[in-house]
Structure 1
């Protein structure tokens, strides 16, 4: 459906917005026919956004063109001024300059372009050169920082590689050690199995021999188990004998009869009384000495 075929009664639109969109489309396509589109809220809103964006862009371009024109006019005026100044004051013109002078002039122009000076005054050149020097210093400082960071990174990388190499060596050692231990463990398992088999064989042979001995009428007390039990009982009796002997040693100094034992007891009592008397005298003497010492 063409834009001109829109009927106001089909939907509720803002008439002014629709008219602006249609006018913008006609202006955009000029003499070319406008493409057909469905007139609805979504389409009109989308075209309206595009229209505003296009108009804003056109305004920006117009401002930029005007600014460029003004700058070009300023540059032309400054060029005419400099040419007239050189011609009238110094009687210089591009045609009158020598080859070397033209080269210097081109160098000056290139320098001014590179330095992006506002004008050709000496102050502008010095300011621009100072700015470039600061930028150069900042760039050099940044390069030094980056070089230091690179050096630190190389050192860390070297340390990491050395650590990785050492870990690989340690891993190889661990693998070798594990292989050796596995071989030892396998050998131990084989030996253990051999001992188990041998033990089982001996147990069977012992049982067979015991049955043969029992059949031949051998006394059971002479069997290994009985002998072990007897040995254990003998050890217990020997320990009891040692304990009893220690008790008997306490009575070896006693007289052989009761009368002599009583005499011994009386003698011991007299000796004990004598010792108590001596001890009491010693205590009394020490007490007197202490009292005399305190009085002094």
Structure 2
């Protein structure tokens, strides 16, 4: 714990420089976290230092190569950087820029050709990728169009459903109101019927004067009227004959008695209905 705390204090002092070290709660968890940060920072600093040394070494190598190339140009060809014409300097600068863009180590043809070929392949791959992306984009646009149409249809269906629900709700509410009205009228009619039945019971009304009894009497009267018609037609042939004193008298008397009985019964029923 003490060793970790000393390492943390050293790391914080180096990292903060002249600024004061922030106050923090000293406990096992805090010290462990700061210790891990200090170790990771030291590892990263070492890696960075190694990378800087490598860059310095490569820079020194490049400087040595540049001096060597200048000496070769000066001694072998008799050219110096200051002795180049402006077009030649421009060409050299363009060559160097191309080499840097292509990422080659030198400006020899053996380095440029593979780099150019690689760049050409990258361009072809990029074109193929663009073509594939265009096809995917077209497919996505087609799907998007179908999705928008489907969304529009779904929205119309939703609006129609909401409208139908509103209409159905209004109809249901109206039916409930009608049902309440019918229930109220039914209770009212039941009460009125009970009151009427109580009134009839209190007056000791004869059941023969009920509506059903009167309807039965009316039906019976109609039946008797229909029975009179064939009897009347049955008498018609005898009215045209020259009567024989004995037989005609008997038939006439029988018909008269039957007709009288029917008339009496009909008269009784009519009197009863009038009462």
User: TM-score by structure 2 length?
Assistant: 0.52
**1:108 Cα deviation (Å)?**
0.6
Counting helix residues as a fraction of each chain, which structure ranks higher?
Answer: 2
Structure 1: 5+ residue stretches without partners: 1-12, 29-34, 36-41, 228-296
How does 1:271-290 map onto structure 2 within 5 Å? none
> Separation in 2 of the partners of 1:193 and 1:55?
87
Q: Which residue number corresponds to residue 157 of structure 2?
A: 170
Q: What is the Cα deviation at residue 130 of structure 1?
A: 1.7
- Match in the other structure for 1:109: 96
Q: Secondary structure at the match of 1:159?
A: helix
Correspondence 1:120 to 2:110: no
1:61 Cα offset (Å):
5.4
Give the distance between the partners of 2:174 and 2:60, measured in 1 at CA: 102
Mark the CA change 1:48 to 1:155 in structure 2 (over 3 Å): closer, same or farther. closer
Kindly state the Cα deviation for residue 111 of structure 1 after the two structures are TM-superposed: 0.8
Alpha-carbon separation, structure 2, partners of 1:96 and 1:134: 39
Q: 2: distance between equivalents of 1:186 and 1:179?
A: 10
1:217 to 194, 200, 206: 206
Cα deviation for residue 201 of structure 1 reads 4.4
User: Which residue number corresponds to residue 82 of structure 2?
Assistant: 95
2:119 corresponds in structure 1 to 132
Note closer, same or farther for the CA distance 1:111–1:187 as it changes in structure 2 (3 Å cut).
Answer: same
C-alpha deviation, 1:59, in angstroms: 5.7
Does 2:196 correspond to 1:208? yes
Report the number of matched residues.
198
Write the deviation string for residues 128-182 of structure 1: whole angstroms up to 9, x where unpaired. Answer: 1222223333334444444444444444444333323222211111122122222
5+ long unaligned stretches in structure 2: 15-20, 22-28, 217-275
Measured after TM superposition, the shift of residue 218 of structure 1 is 4.3
Shift in Å, 1:122: 0.4
Q: Could you tell me which residue of structure 1 aligns to residue 60 of structure 2?
A: 73
Deviation at 1:71, TM superposition (A): 2.1
Tell me how far apart the structure 1 counterparts of residues 79 and 94 of structure 2 sit (CA, whole Å): 17
SS of alignment partner, residue 95 of structure 1: helix
Deviation at 1:125, TM superposition (A): 0.7
- What per-residue deviation string (whole Å, max 9, x for no partner) do you get for residues 238-294 of structure 1? xxxxxxxxxxxxxxxxxxxxxxxxxxxxxxxxxxxxxxxxxxxxxxxxxxxxxxxxx
Over 3 Å counting, the alpha-carbon distance change for 1:191 and 1:76 in structure 2 is closer
State the shift of 1:208 in Å: 1.5
Q: Quick one: structure 1 residues 85 and 192, their matched pair in 2 at CA, closer, same or farther if it must change by over 3 Å?
A: same
Q: Work out which structure has the larger RCO, using CA pairs closer than 8 Å and 6 or more positions apart in sequence.
A: 2
SS of equivalent to 1:119: coil
TM-score by length of 1: 0.49
2:146 to 152, 159, 163: 159
CA distance in 2, matches of 1:191, 1:111: 92
Q: How far off is 1:89 after superposition? A: 4.4
Post-superposition shift, 1:49? 8.1
Measured against aligned partners, the alpha-carbon deviations of 1:94-147 in whole angstroms (never above 9, x if no partner) come to 323222221111111111111111222101011112222233333344444444
User: Secondary structure at 1:120's aligned position in 2?
Assistant: coil
CA 1:217/1:64 → structure 2, altered by over 3 Å: closer, same or farther? closer
